[in-house]
Amino acid sequence: MLAVLILRRLLGGIVLLLAMSAMIFAGTELLPGDVATAVLGQSATPSAVAAIRLELGLDRPAWGRYLAWLSGVLQGDFGVSYASHQDVAATITERFIATASLAGATALTAVPLAVLLGILSVLHRDRGLDRLVVVFSRATVSLPEFFVGYTVILLFSVQLGWVDSSSTVYTGMPLTDWLAAMVLPVLTLCLATVGHMVNMTRAALLNVLSAPYIEMAVLKGVSRRRILWRHALPNAVAPIINVIALNLAYLVVGVVVVEVIFVYPGMGQMMVDSVVKRDLPMVQASSLIFSAAFILFNTVADAVSLAANPRLRHPR
């Protein structure tokens, strides 16, 4: 039964991704301006514009170009960049590694920190530390990434001068330089995600602690710390993992704003530059990969919920 439900989620994710591919293609078609004019410049002659449209296949109907693009994507061919004339898949691979590194570094920092703060908040419930954690988590949830990004730049780059405001990374750079370049974007993304995970960790633990068997353990004289670690935390793992998976999905697509702020050479920065240049193959490929990653992590979150909660597997 569980395998069937998970398979349905996967099939639903595939159908959703196909729908997203159509929306992405339609969205790029609706961008203002003409691709041929953008490639050649405003001084291009009508004959040159017609020639480039023929070369790029822009003279064909939109549905035909979409089917050709989708067929290429299914074979791993995302086309050729209009701006650089390089293979899109090869260019995106390097940028995707940079974005995945940023998201991975953030996850390795934010997830343990959020779980620890949630546990500490519950251990010191209704005391000073709990109130401080609650205020911190709610404040970070309410602040947009661009505000946090520019604030940390003002504080750590402009006023304190500890690190550079731009986060330029490249293959083969020294580890210390790489770590220094990652500090501010990772800090910004951590502040954007930790609050939500702390709130959900705290809520999940408090929900378990209100169960009757926990009350029985309290009546038997079991210490609060032992109850939390031995009984509450194992039973709250499923919702915690679920919210972590959802935040990882956010990380993959939420890096766009952060990469632009810190001039980080990832997929988000590349996609914004490609929109400005009207480089449609690059925009379409980047958007599709972001969509696939978001759908994948949400599917994982659904699978975890199904595996952990029998009521979801046997709805009335």
pLDDT score, position 32: 67
Nearest 5°: phi and psi at 78? Answer: -95, 5
The yes-or-no verdict on residue 163 having pLDDT over 60 is yes
Report CA-CA distances (Å) from 105 to 2, 113, 212.
Answer: 32, 13, 39
DSSP bridge partners of 80: 87
The structural domains of the chain, ordered by start, are: 92-265 (1.10.3720.10)
Q: From the CB of residue 205, how many other CB atoms can be counted at a distance below 10 Å?
A: 24
Residue 213 pLDDT > 80: no
Question: 309 falls in which pLDDT band (50, 70, 90)?
Answer: low
pTM, entire model:
0.79
How far apart, in whole angstroms, are the C-alpha atoms of residue 81 and residue 284? 11
* pLDDT, position 101: 86
Dump pLDDT digits (tens) for 130-159: 899 889 888 888 888 888 888 989 998 888
Region for 230 from its dihedrals, namely left if φ exceeds 0, alpha if ψ lies in -120 to 50, beta otherwise: alpha
Provide the sign of the torsion angle of the four alpha carbons 280, 283, 288, 289, taken in this order: positive
Q: Is the pLDDT of residue 315 over 60?
A: no
